[in-house]
A and B are shown apart, each in its own frame.
Chain A
Amino acid sequence: MTQTFLNAVFLENAVLEAEVTKLGCNIPAARKTGTTICGVVFKDGLVLGADTRATEGMIVADKNCSKIHYISPNIYCCGAGTAADTEMTTQIISSNLELHSLSTSRMPRVATANRMLKQMLFRYQGHIGAALVLGGVDCNGPHLYSIYPHGSTDKLPYVTMGSGSLAAMAVFEDRYKQDMEEEDAKRLVRDAIAAGIFNDLGSGSNIDLCVITKGRVDYLRPHDMANKKGVRTGNYKYKQGTTGVLTKSVIKLDLEVVEETVQTMDTS
């Protein structure tokens, strides 16, 4: 029953959209994140990084949006592409992973989240525009995956996604070393995201970091405010007393209480 309902909704929306575009009206564009996201594996764990700008065409829709999504206590996921798609996809997978972990009574593994994501994205053949960087630490150590909208995945020690991925990858290719220390890894990711922010129009604002190690997650938001809004240097407010007061008269209004009603608030 639910399947037929879903297909009906599918059909109606697609047919309506076709009719509307024929009439010449534009369907509002989905808000993309036009992003720089990246991740790097270091000695004891991994660092995920993301910028915080969400664009709607040529306009910044959100100056400080959060692109690092929670999947499970030991797994986080950065999302690039259509903002709604990444948000809903990560939430669905997070719920499924929680149910799965309760059913198996074990901490969830990153490979499980990866497989769930890739099977779902492949099922929808790329129509769900979500490019993800999935990272976490489980019983087998730190793992980092990049997942493309059509459902292909790569397991690598350092990955970047989004419109600023080339700028960030340039920084990684130059300075990545195996088994870095945590501070070096954080600095590397911060510089990679900064490269994306300053060289790509789709990325901007601040840098968020998420450091995941065995037993500890540091969600640093914002880790670095790379683009602070400027402070106004001039003040155009007139000082008190600029206009001279000639006369002052006070008229008291006699108000009497006519009616008093009490409306109870629904505080349940």
Chain B
Amino acid sequence: MLTELCSVPVTGMGQHVGAYGVQDTLRSGFSSVKNELLPSHALELSEKNFQLNQDKMNFSTLRNIQGLHAPLKLQMEYRAARQIQRLPFLQSSHLALDTLKGNDESISFEDILNDPAQSEMVGEPHIMVEYKLGLM
């Protein structure tokens, strides 16, 4: 069975809250209470946080072995590399970030499925740039 019913609402499914503390309909579409309280797939939460949890685990191990400086330095490098990208509506290669994280030596579902080059929708360039610059 793909969908499992859990009776307790799960945290981490929250709405995308906009500037005034309400649902940002313009950016994240209409809200559905059911979609936000219960996960629609058993793996939804675990997959959403997978990369974050892996990073947290690796950083904490590194901190225990080498000291606080190691994860701090790495996180600073990641932050710097994450800023190397094209304009928001264009597809960035994230080459520096991938090399730092070691993703250049592995292939996974993100590389095969949902190729951004084949995406049917393209963002409206002006609005995306305005949003990124905070003018919107």
Contact = CB atoms under 8 A, between A and B. Distances in A.
B13 to A, nearest CB: 10
Given A100-B105, A127-B2, A11 B44 contact: yes
A101 to B, nearest CB: 11
Contact of A11 (B40, B46, B51, B105): B40
Contacts of A5: 114, 116
Interface in B83-115: 105-110, 112-114
Nearest to A17: B2
Interface residues of B, number: 23
Interface residues of A, number: 25
Interface string B23-66: 00000000000010000111110111011000000000000000
Contacts of A6: 47, 109-110, 113-114
Contacts of B44: 7, 10-11, 14
Contact of B107 (A18, A96, A123, A125): A96
Contacts of B41: 10-11, 13-14
A15 B46 contact: no
B11 interface: no
Contact of A9 (B42, B51, B114): B114
Contact of B46 (A3, A17, A125): A125
Contacts of A96: 106-107
11 contacts: A2-B110, A3-B48, A3-B110, A7-B44, A10-B47, A14-B40, A14-B41, A17-B2, A96-B107, A99-B107, A123-B46
